A and B are shown apart, each in its own frame.
Chain A
Amino acid sequence: MARRYSMVAAFAGLVVAIQVATYLAGAPYHLTQLTMTAYYSLLIVGLCMLIGYAGQISLGHAGFFAIGGYVSAFLTTHDLAAHKGLRLVALLQKAGMLLERSDLYGGSHLVVHPWLACAAAVLLAVVIAYVVGGPVLKLRGHYLAMATLGFGIIIYRVALGTELLGAADGISEVPGFPLPFGLIISGNASVRVSNYYLAWGLVILGMVLLLNLIQSRVGRALSAVHGAEDAAGAIGIPTARYKLNTFVLSAAFASVAGVFLTHYNGGIGPSEASVMKSVRYVAIVAIGGMANLWGALLMSLVLNYLSLRGYFGTFDDAVFGVILILIMLFAPDGLLRRHILADLKRLASGGASDEEAA
């Protein structure tokens, strides 16, 4: 119990330390990529829960991220002024759920309030996850991998082929996401520090939720499902329901990440839904140690940050391909395994694998 929260506190400390370090080094601009990294990390810890604890692979999580991002981007940019006559639009306006907003050139648009858009986006992702998850999670092995991959491709194709969603160009000029106390989620340089803390705060919140879940009855049941599904079923654990709920939870994490990153970036394009993105998320979970939320989180922090900074140049995708192969060949349980702390204690010179990981 205590260890769980001491890890959270240590991580929060790391987040603060990084911010202070960038401030002292006079390089606050690193926070931009770190903030983007935070949102990807939110998706990754959700996916880690699904892969590592429920034992179900998903090669289509970029699809849920894109559903969140696209729905929110569409609703907050699509001008409803032409549909004022519709009863729904009038009703929403009366309820204060619509906003007048002016664009870069002084034109005025009537759009959905980001809060409502966010709720709609996450709700849609959850509903889709329920509908798709039911039959998909009945599959195993290759079939499961292929079905989730197929789901991701369908979302990608729909985003790419639908003109309302901007086809290949995606959606631009998405407004910031207003929060209470004058805070706003936006990529504007003036709110860089507050956005950094908001994003990582959200990740820590997500982590606390997942850690509690793992320690609960649900977590123990999941671990039984992962170990031996038939045995778990035999002792009366509703395996299908637990798997489905975890799938939906991770989809919700992905869609929330999609919503906020889209508002932060001010837009979204079909590349966010691409297969390569989904594969990359799985690669990060794998290197983090499959069933190790902290490992996945740290690896996500490092790898996403380096990728977003452009350190991999034209080898960006290749790096993740190589990581996948190496990890699966030599350390299929991941580099930062679940019991690595115990392993380290056993080894007198435990530092070696630590450095390797970083």
Chain B
Amino acid sequence: MRRVGTVILGLLLAAAMAFPAAAAETIKIGAILSVTGPASFLGAPEAKTLEMQVADVNRKGGILGRKVELIVKDSGASPEKAFSFAKQLIEEEKVFAIIGPSTSGETMKIKGLAEEGKTILMSCAAAEVIVNPVAKYVFKTPQKDSDAVIMIFQQMKKMKISKIGVVSSNTGFGGAGKAQIEALAPKHGITIVANEVYDKAASDLTAEVTKLKAANVEAVINWSIEPAQAIVIKNARQIGLKVPIFQSHGFGNIKYVDAAGEAAEGVMFPAGRLLVADQLPKDHPQRALLLQYKKDYQSYCQGEECSTFGGHAFDAFIILQKAIEKAGSTDKEKVRTAIENLKGVVGTAGIFNFSPTDHNGLDIDAFVMLVVRNGKFTIL
């Protein structure tokens, strides 16, 4: 038995020695992403995007003439792994910054670690608690949920809708959206007459939409990122519920429109401009960047359509790159201050204007209202 111990000890030592101090020139960036597991629809495109970007930057000579080294860790959306990996990246790899995690739950678990370890954390998760209240080293790139909700409510006002039904999935994304809808509805003169939470793996939601129909809703908002959002509209149309349907920015994946087929016609949702890049006016500041990202991603991933989620990681990397160039060094504190002073950075989600009190940098203009017409996203 003791021999086993010796072997383990040997392994441990070997493992410890396998990580010699990295060559001084590279900039180490860690990424904790849910490449597999229940949030893989976020983490997988994020990881691919980052790999593509880092390869691209290194081909062009790196940042400040220094190569970038990317360390991607797959957390499988479990907070305990996110914790372990964050410790590893901060204390051991001494990374310059961490991109991710993909989910709000994981981000909240390692927020404290990033603060303690004075390492920049660029979260790809949406929840507002990540940056409100502001933590010194923690930033996030996705748009605010509350802005998406306000966008929908403004559209409803135009359409004179006041009685709505809300359905959401039981994930962090669904829960956060539901909370924002509930909080903001009274301010916009909207009454929620039915409010249903379904399981993220739900494959038939007829019972839920029947409940909405019974409550005589004038419109439906669905908040989720899973396939269920396509199922909601299909089931609603199948039971003859004909009111307008609104979705969250999670609907921004053409796969769901394909999956819902004819039922998706007329669905409205707020989203970043990535999905409608080719419809933007020629002089729109985001147009060139968005089209480029779309093209690069598709060729990098052998034809896979890009989603807005990969864009969050794209933005995180661009912001870091801009901040390092601005600070002219990779001193964490200097770069952190540089991010807080970044203005007008064009990203996939919108135009970022950071400040010491705003660690997201996006406002409601980051969203446009989209509608599905003839199976395509179009600007409303």
Contacts and interface: CB of A to CB of B under 8 A. Distances in A.
B106 A269 contact: yes
Given A354-B3, A358-B7, A168 B171 contact: yes
A78 interface: no
B91 interface: yes
B112 interface: yes
Contacts of A316: 36, 74, 76
Nearest to A340: B1
B12 interface: yes
B375 interface: no
B103 A169 contact: yes
Given A17-B9, A269-B105, A298-B4, 14 more contacts: A27-B16, A29-B91, A29-B92, A161-B199, A167-B171, A168-B175, A169-B108, A169-B172, A170-B105, A172-B109, A266-B112, A269-B78, A301-B8, A310-B81
A16 B157 CA distance: 68
A187 interface: yes
A30 interface: yes
In the A-B complex, the 4 residue pairs with the closest CB atoms: A169-B105, A271-B78, A358-B7, A269-B79
Interface of B: 1-5, 7-9, 11-13, 15-17, 19, 35-37, 73-74, 76-81, 83-85, 87-88, 91-92, 103-106, 108-109, 111-113, 115-117, 127, 133, 135, 170-175, 197, 199-200
Interface string A12-52: 01100110011001110110110010000000000000000
Residue of B4, B80, B111, B172 with highest tally of chain A CB at under 10 A: B80
A271 B79 contact: yes
Nearest to A157: B199
A271 B80 contact: yes
A309 B84 contact: yes
Nearest to B32: A310
A166 B13 CA distance: 40
A322 to B, nearest CB: 16
Given A169-B108, A354-B4, A261 B74 contact: no
| Secondary structure class of chain B's binding surface, majority of residues | helix
A25 to B, nearest CB: 4
Interface in A302-354: 302, 308-310, 313-314, 316-317, 341, 351, 354
B175 A169 contact: yes
Contacts of B19: 27
B8 A302 contact: yes
Interface in A161-178: 161, 163, 166-170, 172-173
Given A36-B80, A188-B116, A265 B103 contact: no
Given A10-B1, A167-B172, A267-B108, A314 B36 contact: yes
Nearest to B2: A10
Which of A104, A160, A269 has its CB near the most chain B CB atoms (within 10 A)? A269
A173 B83 CA distance: 12
Interface in A183-221: 187-189
A267 B83 contact: yes
Contact of B80 (A17, A265, A341): A265
Contacts of A351: 3
B74 A10 contact: no
Interface string A242-261: 00000000000000000001
A172 B92 contact: no
Contacts of A18: 8-9, 12
Given A30-B16, A188-B116, A354-B4, A261 B172 contact: no
A155 to B, nearest CB: 15
Given A10-B1, A271-B79, A301-B8, A169 B16 contact: no
Contacts of B174: 168
Given A22-B12, A271-B78, A265 B3 contact: no
A189 B91 contact: yes
A36 to B, nearest CB: 6
A33 to B, nearest CB: 6
9 contacts: A18-B12, A22-B12, A29-B87, A33-B87, A160-B170, A168-B173, A169-B105, A172-B108, A173-B108
A181 B79 CA distance: 30
Contacts of A301: 8
Contacts of B79: 170, 265, 267-269, 271-272
Give the one of B4, B92, B172, B173 with max A CB within 10 A.
B4
Given A104-B112, A314-B36, A358 B8 contact: yes
B84 A168 contact: no
Given A169-B127, A187-B83, A314-B36, A21 B77 contact: no
Nearest to B94: A29
Given A33-B84, A105-B133, A357 B4 contact: yes
A281 interface: no
Contact of A308 (B17, B84, B113, B172): B84
A169 B5 CA distance: 38
Given A29-B88, A104-B115, A354-B3, A261 B80 contact: yes
Contacts of A309: 15, 84, 88
Contacts of B116: 188-189
A314 B172 CA distance: 22
B12 A169 contact: no
A308 B78 CA distance: 11
A26 B16 CA distance: 8
B66 to A, nearest CB: 24
B38 to A, nearest CB: 8
A182 B346 CA distance: 50
B251 to A, nearest CB: 19
A356 B207 CA distance: 54
